[in-house]
Structure 1
């Protein structure tokens, strides 16, 4: 069959894509940026598409006509610079259903979530629930899956945070440590989708996917720590009030385009745990221990765990470094401009000093915005090289200065290279 997968480059979507391809289907992935996806998954056809802009049935007409099954793995946790929950998770889906009805039906397999509970009115769950209800009422053949916390060989979002917490040295601070958690392997989610596509799960089914066991969040982090090969650690239970400022900062980062798993939506969901309704699974689902045992960790997993929480700190340090390097000279503009007087008249020296200050401040702000962060870091490296070259020509003695003003710039370049190396989110 010809199958269209929405969100095919994501954590869950990429596993489903591989499984359906191995089943012999012709698979097409829809993603906002397919450049990297084409390199990583050449087995599929790829189409660029932003669900937030596909809010009319005409946006889907050709795609629906060319495919027999649509698998929806797309989703976002919270509104921000990079995500619009209402447009992506509800409006685009309503348009898709309309196009499928006009095409006289297509099977839709929906990866949803447990949308009831105290966090049910959060936009993440409310938009998911609205799309599910509209699909159930549409008359289209469909299967809805509601996986618990999805874990696997790779990690993204909440599972990445669990690995990062597991990699902390000696003491692991943890909010909602006793919250109940149920998990499902990403491979088992892909198997469920495969069964739905092949007709082994009846259309109209609405199924929860989770292992039989329920563990606490503390237990799950400890299990990942063991998987990483690290000794047991002491857990420090944090009050939700203490964790709240962290969520506020993560929400702010979200508005700048960074998809942090520490945002308030994730914390609200975790406050009551990640569970499911009564067992309605259609296949055997592996436990967390079984899932991890199938994929022994390697050194790159330990590196990832240790670098994950350092990444936002590195980017914030870069921003502060460049902001301060641009703001401090403004307090003594004449003194800062004096370094250029050997080559330039006073007015030109002052103008050049102001220009470098503006550039520094601009880069310090731009690196905080996800969309511009890569170019900002590249600009930092280029501008730093220019500064070092200029300082070497104008005042070579600064290399031997006891305070090392030029020598200390070199670690900032290494920090920038480190940030560039860890910039990708998936």
Structure 2
């Protein structure tokens, strides 16, 4: 069958694509940024589209040509510059359903979330529930799957945070360590989608996909630490005020395009726990979804997982340090412009040219220092930092090679700063 998977390169969507390809279906994947997905999954026909802009049946109809089944694995955690929850979870889904009904696509698999509730005070869970309601009230052959905390070989958002906290040195810090969590392997989610697409699930079911036994967050973190092969360490409860402060900072960064799992929406979801009922799936398959222990055992961790876990929490530190360094450099240049210009003038430049170069350099430093704080400008900012640093080192070598031997090392110290820029470029990607 021709199956369209929305959010096809996400944590769940990619696993669904792989399973459906194995089942022999022809796959179409839809997402906003499909360049990397097209290179990684060339067997899939990719469609570049933003669901938050597909808000009428007319928007969807051209994308449904030849499609027999739609799988919706798209979603967002919190409103931001690129994410509008109501548009993605409700309005776009309602428009998709209307388009399916008009063109004769009669099967829809909706991947929702445990905790979806029309009465929820969380915009994420409320809009998810509104999308589910639109699906359930349609004339389509529908299935709604509600997975718990999805564990996969890949790690984005909350699952990346779990790995990072589990890899902390000496102790494992966390808020709300007593909250109950039920995980589910992404392979079990893909299996459920496979059965729904093949018509091996009864029509009109809402199915929780969770392991049978809930565990406190503290136990989940310790399972991940053992999986990473790290020495045992105690879980230390972080005061709630620290969690609220971190989520406030993360919300602020969200306005700059960074999609941190520390945002307030994630904290609110954790506060209520991540739990469901494994009974329906157990009755369908004769077994519950596999436990966290079994999930982790099926994907052994190696050095790359430890690298990722340790670097993940350092990533915001790297970007903050680079931003402060370059902003401070530019501000100091403005404050001490005459002194800086005198240094250049003493090397043979005219006073006017020396002053112009200092001011231009200060402006450039401030611009790139601010740019790396904005997600969609970060790569350009880091590339500019690299170029500016190389020009600075080259010009200084030509004009004042003796500075390389200065006991305070103004040029020598620039080299490790450049290396940190290269590290930031290497870890910039989020998925």
- Per the shorter chain, which TM-score range? over 0.9
Bigger mean CA offset, 20-29 vs 397-406: 397-406
Distance 1:53 1:158, change over 3 A: same
Distance 1:268 1:36, change over 3 A: same
Deviation at 1:295, TM superposition (A): 1.2
Deviation at 1:352, TM superposition (A): 1.9
- Cα distance between partner residues in 2 of 1:90 and 1:280: 25
Deviation at 1:203, TM superposition (A): 1.8
- Cα distance between partner residues in 1 of 2:119 and 2:240: 15
Aligned to 2:333: 329
- Cα distance between partner residues in 2 of 1:278 and 1:395: 71
Q: Is 1:370–2:389 an aligned residue pair?
A: no
- Secondary structure of the residue aligned to 1:128 is helix
Structure 2 counterpart of 1:394, from 390, 395, 399 = 399
**TM-score normalised by length of structure 2:** 0.96
Deviation at 1:104, TM superposition (A): 3.2
Aligned to 1:308: 312
Q: Is 1:381–2:386 an aligned residue pair?
A: yes
Bigger mean CA offset, 207-216 vs 62-71: 62-71
Deviation at 1:119, TM superposition (A): 8.7
Q: For residues 43-84 of structure 1, what are the alpha-carbon distances to aligned partners after superposition, in whole Å with 9 as ceiling and x for unaligned?
A: 211111111211121111122232000100111111112212
Q: For residues 113-162 of structure 1, what are the alpha-carbon distances to aligned partners after superposition, in whole Å with 9 as ceiling and x for unaligned?
A: 12357992222111111111111112221100000000022211111111
Q: Is 1:209–2:206 an aligned residue pair?
A: no
- Cα distance between partner residues in 2 of 1:295 and 1:257: 31
Q: For residues 215-244 of structure 1, what are the alpha-carbon distances to aligned partners after superposition, in whole Å with 9 as ceiling and x for unaligned?
A: 111000100110111111021101212211
- Secondary structure of the residue aligned to 1:146 is strand
Aligned to 2:300: 296
Deviation at 1:277, TM superposition (A): 4.1
- Cα distance between partner residues in 1 of 2:257 and 2:402: 42
- Cα distance between partner residues in 2 of 1:331 and 1:66: 64
Q: Is 1:421–2:426 an aligned residue pair?
A: yes
Q: Is 1:287–2:291 an aligned residue pair?
A: yes
- Secondary structure of the residue aligned to 2:65 is helix
Stretches (4+) displaced over 4 A: 116-119
- Secondary structure of the residue aligned to 1:71 is strand
Specify every segment of 5 or more residues in structure 1 that has no aligned partner in the other structure, as ranges.
none
- Cα distance between partner residues in 2 of 1:224 and 1:126: 30
Aligned to 1:172: 172
Deviation at 1:105, TM superposition (A): 4.0
Conservation of the 8 A alpha-carbon contact between 1:119 and 1:269? no
Aligned to 2:412: 407
Aligned to 2:27: 27
- Secondary structure of the residue aligned to 1:163 is helix
Q: For residues 219-276 of structure 1, what are the alpha-carbon distances to aligned partners after superposition, in whole Å with 9 as ceiling and x for unaligned?
A: 0010011011111102110121221111111111111111111111001110121111
Superposed, 1:29-44 pairs within 5 Å as: 29-44=29-44
Conservation of the 8 A alpha-carbon contact between 1:326 and 1:357? yes
- Secondary structure of the residue aligned to 1:248 is helix
Superposed, 1:186-265 pairs within 5 Å as: 186-265=186-265
Q: For residues 193-221 of structure 1, what are the alpha-carbon distances to aligned partners after superposition, in whole Å with 9 as ceiling and x for unaligned?
A: 00000111112111101010111110001
Superposed, 1:6-155 pairs within 5 Å as: 6-116=6-116, 120-155=120-155
Q: For residues 80-126 of structure 1, what are the alpha-carbon distances to aligned partners after superposition, in whole Å with 9 as ceiling and x for unaligned?
A: 12212122222211111111111134211011012357992222111
How many matched pairs?
426
Deviation at 1:278, TM superposition (A): 6.4
- Cα distance between partner residues in 2 of 1:119 and 1:131: 13
Bigger mean CA offset, 148-157 vs 209-218: 148-157
- Cα distance between partner residues in 2 of 1:93 and 1:347: 62
Deviation at 1:345, TM superposition (A): 2.6
Conservation of the 8 A alpha-carbon contact between 2:116 and 2:126? no
- Cα distance between partner residues in 2 of 1:54 and 1:267: 29
Bigger mean CA offset, 291-300 vs 108-117: 108-117
Distance 1:108 1:351, change over 3 A: same
**TM-score normalised by length of structure 1:** 0.97
